[in-house]
Amino acid sequence: MAGGGSDGRSVAEKLFAIADAFQGREDLSLSEIAARANLPLSTAHRLVAEWVEWGGLVRGEDGRYRVGMRVWRLGVRQPTAMRLRRIAMPYLEDLLEATTEHVHLAVRDGLGAIYLERLSGADAVSVISDVGSRLPLHATGVGLVLLAHAPSEVFDEVLASQPRRYLPNTLTEERELRRRLAEIRSFGISTSLEELTRGAFSVAAPVRDATGEVVAAVSVIAHVERVGEPQFALGVRMAARGISSALGYRPAGE
């Protein structure tokens, strides 16, 4: 596209600048989008309206904008994500059979966890996650696992974003989050109790590729009454190890 305006950028480049404005942020006001994309407010208003009409952005009741499901679903379809889902599926299906609750596979994108897959039992607890959903790292089991193994600057960005306390158990303070992430790295698993969804708990574990890098997380979300049942932690560990092995990961000494 040509004729993008006085700053020399095309309309497409300005639209991409708006998309890039959301890097590291869950939501933005119109003025924040304009500033981060280096656009006049009137131009940002017009182009954001086009994004909203297409489904790339959604405007909340608070007037702030968030990335829409259409963008996330496109991301889920990219080749790397498709390969990961294909490799993980047999292990996710086994985990579903063992637990009869929700089974998730997620990857990190900025300060969010994007859900690549969700399998659910008939009587599974009610949750807000779905394929293509993007939920905050600090408030989800998979997100905490991914944050625990992310570069240190990602943790700094989470703190700078003023993470929201969704429920009384949601961790938002630096000291408690650091302690929690250290425990996840030490024990190799995350257990969350009513941190994003009332009546639910989750168990999550990291998935590693052939280099040993954590590239995803697998989890189960279940009714809180089942928190003491041993198959959740065991099953999540086994699923994560199986997917990691299928990706070529070999622990040291093997």
pTM confidence score: 0.69
Q: What is the pLDDT along the chain (254 residues), one digit of tens a residue?
A: 334 445 778 887 888 888 888 876 778 899 999 999 999 999 999 999 988 888 788 888 888 988 776 666 555 555 477 788 889 999 999 999 998 888 999 998 888 888 888 888 887 776 766 677 778 899 899 999 999 999 999 999 999 988 889 899 988 899 999 999 999 999 999 998 888 888 888 999 999 998 899 999 999 998 888 888 888 999 999 999 999 999 899 887 65
Q: Which two tokens mark 152?
A: 């240190």
Answer whether CATH 3.30.450.40 is correct for domain 74-246.
yes
The C-alpha atoms of residue 169 and residue 206 are separated, in whole angstroms, by 22
Q: Same CATH topology for 11-67 and 74-246? A: no
Q: Which two tokens mark 217?
A: 């997380």
> How many CB atoms lie under 10 A from the CB of residue 122?
5
The C-alpha atoms of residue 83 and residue 127 are separated, in whole angstroms, by 26
HSE (side-chain half, CA atoms, 13 Å) at 147? 29
Cα dist from 37 to 24, 44, 112, whole Å: 14, 8, 20
* Non-local CB neighbours of 159 within 8 Å, separated by 6+ positions: 174, 177
The C-alpha atoms of residue 38 and residue 14 are separated, in whole angstroms, by 9
Architecture of domain 11-67: Orthogonal Bundle (1.10)
Domain boundaries, the chain: 11-67, 74-246
